[in-house]
Amino acid sequence: MRNLLCIFILVCLMAVSSEAAQADCVVLVNSYHQGYRWVQSYRKAFVDNIAKDAMVVEVDLDTKRIPRSEYAERARKALALIDEVKPEVVVLADDNAFALLAEEVATRKIPVVFLGVNSNPRNAVTSLDTVVGVLERPLVKRSIPIINEVLNKDFRNFLVLFDVSTTSEVLFNEVFHENSIKFMGYTAEIRTVATYDEWKKAVLAAPGQGFDAIMLGVHNTLRDEDGRHVPYRKVARWTNIYSTLPLFAFWDFSVSSDMACGGLVLFGGPQGEAAAQLTNRLLEGANIVQLHTITAERGKLMFSGAG
């Protein structure tokens, strides 16, 4: 069904190609899918801030739910759409879209704006003169002390759980660098798990391993024993029910009364707004080499009220 929907969307988007050719056209490639709260957040900010006379054409790669073996085909379809509508700017949202498409788009002499990217842009493109955008960095060393201060607690040892995904791999290589981070008397142990069953075991074992709290990292690509994708909300809700340790998060989409209780979290909105502003500059005629990549680190304290 998802494949049929993807084909339908692409056909509809192809149909607007002639109209797109008459206006400033921007292609927004989402690494993930419209039902993902992170996508909804940055997308709304992007659409609200992009130039009113620009046409935004979107395509979802859906890489949180499909297997990696299908990534290349999704990227090929996105490139076919880009070649059809010939946009003035291509916006690549998150690490998978950037890794899969940045170099190919750059070779077409189309400016690339990225957002939500954790990796070093140099890893994906031959020349940084072809891309500009907004980096994303989880606020590990700021989050933990602030959580303790706000809640008047003394949580010292945190288990930080991630799935095995492109984002998780990039964060480990570019941000964390090691499995155990020690700072200011705190310890954050970074652990990645590939399956839902492994996630459950890690959560249940955490109290006996000396942890005081659990931080929910990226948990969107876990699969059950039958190989089926497990929605991130289901993972977080199960963790909320069965963990005897308090749960915190790095991203707003994991915070609610039935998931993590809160934390100093990142929102997609600032990413989308900043990407729209960069895109507008390019549409106005700015040379991409005159613009600068930024890091959107405006974390905000957010608590569900039920934690």
Q: Mind listing the pLDDT tens digit for each residue in 265-289?
A: 988 999 999 999 999 999 999 999 9
Enter the pTM of the model: 0.79
Query: pLDDT band for position 20 (50/70/90)?
Result: very low
Closest-CA residue to 48 (of 295, 274, 299): 274
Q: What is the mean pLDDT of residues 213-227?
A: 93
Residues 6+ apart with CB under 8 A from 208: none
Give per-residue pLDDT as tens, 149-169: 999 999 999 999 999 988 888
Tens of pLDDT, residues 175-212: 788 889 999 999 999 999 999 999 999 999 999 999 99
CATH of 2-136+268-297, one of 3.40.50.2300, 3.30.420.40, 1.10.30.50, 3.40.50.300: 3.40.50.2300
Q: Which of 41-50, 71-80, 298-307 has the lowest mean pLDDT?
A: 298-307
Q: Which of 120, 123, 124, 118 is nearest to 137 (CA)?
A: 118
What band does 300 get if pLDDT is binned at 50, 70 and 90? confident
User: What pLDDT is stored for residue 220 in this prediction?
Assistant: 87
Residue 235 in this model has a pLDDT that exceeds 70: yes
d(CA 231, CA 211) in angstroms, rounded, equals 26
Q: What are the start and end residues of each CATH 3.40.50.2300 domain in the chain?
A: 2-136+268-297
CATH of 140-265, one of 3.30.70, 2.30.30, 3.40.720, 3.40.50: 3.40.50
65-86 pLDDT, tens digit each:
999 999 999 999 999 999 999 9
Out of 8-17, 133-142, 238-247, give the one with best mean pLDDT: 238-247
- Going by C-alpha positions, the residue among 63, 134, 74, 68 that lies closest to residue 104 is 74
Res 304: pLDDT = 81
Given a cut of 60, whether residue 2 has pLDDT beyond it is no
Instruction: Kindly state the tokens that stand for 224.
Output: 């059950």
